[in-house]
Structure 1
Amino acid sequence: MYKLEQKGLLPEQMLAVLPVFMAKIERLADLLGLALADYQADHIALRVNDWETAEQLHQAWLAYGTEWSTNEINGRPIVVIGFDQPLSCGPWQIEALELPYPGDKAYPQEGWEHVEFVIPSPAADTEALKITLDEAFPQLAGQWDELAGKGIKVKASSPSGEKERLSNPTYAFKHDGVCIKLHPHSLKAVIESEGE
């Protein structure tokens, strides 16, 4: 655990910097024209660059919750831990942590990386999800073409685990070292679909 402490990645260190991270998330939401206060902040994700750190974090965070799943996505394990006590951040109660084991991409900064919000929708693909987002957030609808000019990277994807039955298309918006992801279903619902 010494290595985690050195990197500032112990759960208690991560929780201490959570308000600063969430303030950046809220600034990005404002920039995008996303009024997210009434939507579920489904889970929070962190990123690390080496396998040993991921293994140590995996064990350390189990003191705060229960492992919901470990799923192979894009060739690496992604662990989901449901918190015993949801993380309280502003108007949100975040119920789960996503911990991807590292792939071949190195992150400039290890630690909190994104928060995913549930925007309820029957959308089964990214085109349908974009329509939902345009309806839910008129301010975003008018500025898709301007986002790159503001330094915001946008990525549409349909990630899926091998056992998932529920389609969960996602839009990711990255800026200033943080990322907001929007999708129609919670991680819990997607995990539950695996057993169907």
Structure 2
Amino acid sequence: MTYQELINSWSTFSSEIQAFTQDLGLDTLALECDHTALRVNSNQSADLLRHEFARVGNIISDNMINGRPILIIELNTPLMMGNTAIECVELPYPSDKVYPQQGWEHIELVLDCGAADCDELTHALLEKAPQLAAIIAGETEIKVKMSSPKGDKERLANPTIAFKKNGLCIKVHSQSIKAVIASEAE
């Protein structure tokens, strides 16, 4: 997995993730897409991508989350997803899980609601997108996972709701990645 392979696959991923966003009805909410994320299965691939991404951006966070390094790279030139500019890429080093497909895995959308936990985030999201109620209740083929990942230095709660279908994932969280990173310096 190389940077060029990722760039070559961006158009397909971008189109598929936009269609999934529309299926969920999130496209009408004008949520900020603050970053996209990769999945790799080896430290060697992660090291190579770290080096390659460092040439096209700046690593603004290198933090331990759930026992593994996760980098956030702010790109010199944002990736475009339709009319949306995505400034940051999340590069997690692999965990024990082996992903069936390496490459682009998800985008993260910010619902700026100040939610401190998953219940508050769910309430705020359903207020703006009531069509998600059946999905969140587990009544559809779309899988939902709620979590509150936290980096070693983070001081800002950032609950997350992940929607997964056909190898695609869209996560909604309450804080932007840059706000979370800024909380590490406080």
* TM-score (normalised: structure 2): 0.95
Alignment deviations for residues 19-50 of structure 1 (CA, whole Å, 9 cap, x no partner): 21011112222222222562211101000001
Deviation at 1:143, TM superposition (A): 4.3
Counterparts of 2:71 and 2:82, CA distance in 1: 25
- Secondary structure of 1:130's partner? helix
1:135 counterpart = 2:127: yes
Identify the residue that residue 177 of structure 2 maps to in structure 1.
Answer: 187
Quick check: 1:70–1:78 contact (8 Å CA) kept in 2? yes
**12-21 or 54-63, which deviates more:** 12-21
> Which of 123, 135, 153 lines up with 2:115 in the alignment?
123
Counterparts of 1:44 and 1:27, CA distance in 2: 16
Quick check: 2:135–2:144 contact (8 Å CA) kept in 1? no
Deviation at 1:138, TM superposition (A): 2.2
* TM-score (normalised: structure 1): 0.90
Alignment deviations for residues 63-105 of structure 1 (CA, whole Å, 9 cap, x no partner): 1100101100111100111011111211211010100000100
Identify the residue that residue 29 of structure 1 maps to in structure 2.
Answer: 21
> Which of 98, 102, 105 lines up with 2:97 in the alignment?
105
Quick check: 1:65–1:82 contact (8 Å CA) kept in 2? yes
- Aligned-pair identity in percent equals 46
Alignment deviations for residues 124-164 of structure 1 (CA, whole Å, 9 cap, x no partner): 000000011001112213543355x32x1100000000110
Counterparts of 2:4 and 2:73, CA distance in 1: 16
Identify the residue that residue 80 of structure 1 maps to in structure 2.
Answer: 72
Query: Aligned-pair RMSD on alpha carbons?
Result: 1.4
Counterparts of 1:86 and 1:191, CA distance in 2: 19
Counterparts of 1:49 and 1:142, CA distance in 2: 33
Over 3 Å counting, the alpha-carbon distance change for 1:59 and 1:30 in structure 2 is same
**99-108 or 28-37, which deviates more:** 28-37
- Secondary structure of 2:51's partner? helix
Structure 2: gaps (5+ residues): none
Deviation at 1:14, TM superposition (A): 1.1
1:172 counterpart = 2:162: yes
- Secondary structure of 2:107's partner? strand
Q: How many residues align?
A: 186
- The one-letter code matched in structure 2 to 1:116 is E
Quick check: 1:35–1:137 contact (8 Å CA) kept in 2? no
Over 3 Å counting, the alpha-carbon distance change for 1:157 and 1:143 in structure 2 is closer
Quick check: 1:37–1:91 contact (8 Å CA) kept in 2? no
- The one-letter code matched in structure 1 to 2:11 is P
- Secondary structure of 2:41's partner? coil
Deviation at 1:178, TM superposition (A): 0.9
Counterparts of 1:34 and 1:101, CA distance in 2: 29
